[in-house]
Amino acid sequence: MKVTFLGTGTSHGIPAIGCTCAVCRSANPRNKRRRTSLYVQVNDQHIIIDTPPDFREQVLANGVPRVDAVLITHAHADHIFGFDDLRRFSYMQHMSIPVYGSPATMVEMRTKFSYVMEDTLWRASVPRATFNEVTHAWSWNGIEVEPVPAPHGPMTVYGYIVRAGGRSLGYLPDCSAMDEDLIARWQGVDVMILDALRQKEHPTHLSLPEAVDALRLIAADRSYLTHLCHDLEHDETNARLPDRMQVAYDGLTLEW
């Protein structure tokens, strides 16, 4: 299993527009954060989790050659508004790309991107996709994907567990609380990637201390923090994390 962080930033991205804080002005490339997205390669399949507004730049910067499936965590703008750029992949691959998410998320995707179903021709100007509502784990090509509902403020979003060949990945980039039942759902994954917006508490995201506490209980072999805002400088934050926990950064690749 191979995973590449296409983006690790919050909805504003880093640097944030008009901000002159030390992180936004930093020369450290690991403090440059596009909106959060993940690229998973497993069993010769290429899976994207979320298509943020930076999606075109992300796939070009990381050399993503194809997309076989897309998992959507939820339909907020910073997670889906690069969806139109799938049109190059659907055209090059001459296929309708399957997109998966919760029933509520797929309703929003069909509304916001209704035109992807309207054109029956394989044209580069129109992405082709099929929207699939999922509520339970499903499998294809030896890969199992399990959706894990989680709170994101007042709404429910999906995180995902991806399993194949005895290896597993947990991914939850937006979450506001982790109770015992939710923590138990993630226990046993090899690699866990979790939301950690900032140092202070936030109504719709985990803070850094909350994320660290949850990751200690999940106890994955390796854990990574994502969806960070400009309150958290990469090197300084990394230096105070427990063993086996790291701050992710754009372009970071993991393989196990």
User: Is 56 part of a structural domain of the chain?
Assistant: yes
What's the mean pLDDT when you consider all of the chain?
96
Residue 24 has pLDDT above 90, yes or no: yes
Q: Is 221 exposed, middle or buried (0-12, 13-18, 19+ CB in 10 A)?
A: exposed
Cα–Cα distance measured from residue 44 to residue 185, given in angstroms and rounded to the nearest whole number:
27
Closest residue by Cα to residue 174 from 157, 188, 155: 157
pLDDT for residue 203 is more than 80:
yes
Is residue 21 one of the residues assigned to a domain?
A: yes
β-sheet bridge partners, residue 14? 33
Domain that holds residue 163: 2-249
Indicate whether 256 belongs to any domain.
Answer: no
Specify the 3-state DSSP secondary structure of 210: helix
State percent of the chain over pLDDT 70.
Answer: 97
Quick one: DSSP state of residue 242? P
Backbone angles phi, psi at 178, to 5 degrees: -130, 100
Q: Per residue in 128-184, pLDDT tens?
A: 999 999 999 999 999 999 999 999 999 999 999 999 999 999 999 999 999 999 999
Q: Where does the chain have alpha helices with state H?
A: 55-62, 77-80, 87-93, 103-112, 180-186, 208-218, 234-239
pLDDT digits (tens, 9 = 90+) for 30-81: 999 999 999 999 999 999 999 999 999 999 999 999 999 999 999 999 999 9
Tell me the mean pLDDT in the region 205-228. 98
Q: Is residue 255 part of a domain?
A: no
pLDDT over threshold 70, residue 120: no
Number of domains in the chain: 1
Q: Is residue 105 part of a domain?
A: yes
Is residue 169 within 8 A of residue 162, CB to CB? The reply is yes
65: CATH:
3.60.15.10
pLDDT band at 127 (very low <50, low <70, confident <90, very high): confident
Residues for the chain: how many in total? Answer: 256
- pLDDT at 119 exceeding the cut of 70: no
What distance in Å separates the CA atoms of residue 189 and residue 181, rounded to the nearest whole number? 15
Residue 254 lies in a domain: no
125 pLDDT exceeds 90?
Answer: no
